[in-house]
Each structure stands twice: as C-alpha cells, then as structure tokens.
Amino acid sequence: MTPEIIWLMAIGMGVYQGLHPPMGWFMALSRGLENRSWRSVFGGTWPFALGHLLSMLVVLLPIAVVLSIFVPLYMMLLMYLTWVTSFGLIGCGVYKLIKPEHSRFIARIRPNKDIRWSFWMGMTHCLSPIMMIPMLIDLVMLNNSSFMGYDAPRLLIYSMLAVALSLVMVVPLILVATATALTVFMIFRLFGTLRYWLNLDLGWAAMFIAMGVMGFAHGIEATN
C-alpha cells in the first residue's frame, strides 16, 4: 500500500462522514431553519468537525508516542499492532451491523454542547480514531525516518503524521457537511428532511470490515 492510497482513503472517509447526517450537517441545517439564516447553517458545522478532530488526536497522538518509543527497539511491533487493530476493526464493523444504534451516553449530552457531543460521537459511535490507527501504522512503516522528505526525530515525525492524518479527514468532512447543509437549506428546506433521509451507518460498518481485512492482508504481505 502506497502513502498516496492511504491519504486518499482518509479523504474518502472524511467525505463519507460529511455526507452522514449525524456528523454535523443535519444539526447545522436545523439551526439554520430555526434562525431562518444561511449564516447559521454555515457556522453550525465547524463545532462538530472540531470535536471529531479532537477525538482522533486524543487517540492517535498517544499511539504516535508509543510507536516512537518501541519501533526502534522492535520493528515487528508494527506487524503485531497491525494485526490487532485489523481484527479490532472487523469486530467493530460486525458489532455495528448487529447494533447500529447510538450509545445512550451520547443522548445524555446537552444539545448545545456541540463539540463535546461530536467528540464522544467519534469515540463511541463513528469510531473514526480506531479506524485511523492502522492507517497511521502503515504511514509509520512507509515514513520511518522522514516526513515529506525532511529528516526529524521519530517522535516528531509520528506526531506530525497523526496530526496530518486527522486533518486530512476532518477538512473534507467539514467542507462536505457544510455544502450538504447549505444545499438542503437553499433547495429542499424542511420538506426535504421530512421526505428523504440518508442513513450511511450500514456502509460505515462495511467500511470497518473492509479496512480490517485490508490491514490484515497488508500485515501478512509485509512479513513475507
């Protein structure tokens, strides 16, 4: 797997999440309809993207620190981590197929706490940080001693990879979510939300399983 494919996969995940109503655009649309202003729609998606970004950084940055400590001592650790996370992704995908509903914990968060709600949505339902772990490991394997061609300490390299991977997913997320919310607000208004609904949970669960299978296959290929 090349770095370009990994970055494109992260962008694709962001686009998919941006189209998913629970990840910001539907609530931003509701705010715009309530205030009867497109400006409310435009400013309603960034808190959800920020919360999602924080959820990924909370997971990926510690992983980057652990990798910077142990990878120089034991390179096979990457293979083991790849296999473990790949099995975890497959397990998460199967679980989400069986129980697609949101965590009850999220329902207890107040509606005006957008960033907090999005943070825990990413951690407990979307599980995007978990899906990003194998991608970070693959990037570490492909960029073991440099970042964008520049040599630097491993801790800095891996941390920059974690931040870059998170941003590459979140930027498409907020752009697509904002565009979707504005389009529905300008064209369909409330009628469109009552007549049509877009549920992407099934596809997201299938993506977990596909990512797990790909990560497991990549780990086997790297050991041969």
Identify the three-state secondary structure at position 151: strand
Compare 70 and 199 and report the one with higher pLDDT. 70
Does the reported pTM lie above 0.85?
no
Dist. CA 194–CA 146, nearest whole Å: 51
pLDDT digits (tens, 9 = 90+) for 40-98: 777 777 888 888 899 999 999 999 888 888 776 666 677 777 778 888 888 888 887 78
What residue type is assigned to position 67 of the chain?
Answer: L
* Best-predicted range by mean pLDDT (11-15, 92-96, 102-106): 11-15
Average pLDDT over the chain reads 78
Q: Which residues have a Cβ under 8 Å from the Cβ of 150 and sit 6 or more positions away?
A: none
The four Cα atoms 17, 20, 89, 127 give a dihedral, to 10 degrees, of 80
Compare 85 and 219 and report the one with higher pLDDT. 85
Region 14-22 average pLDDT: 81
Q: Which residues have a Cβ under 8 Å from the Cβ of 178 and sit 6 or more positions away?
A: 25, 28, 41, 42, 45
Dist. CA 215–CA 150, nearest whole Å: 27
Q: Which residues have a Cβ under 8 Å from the Cβ of 97 and sit 6 or more positions away?
A: 202, 205, 206
Dist. CA 85–CA 216, nearest whole Å: 9
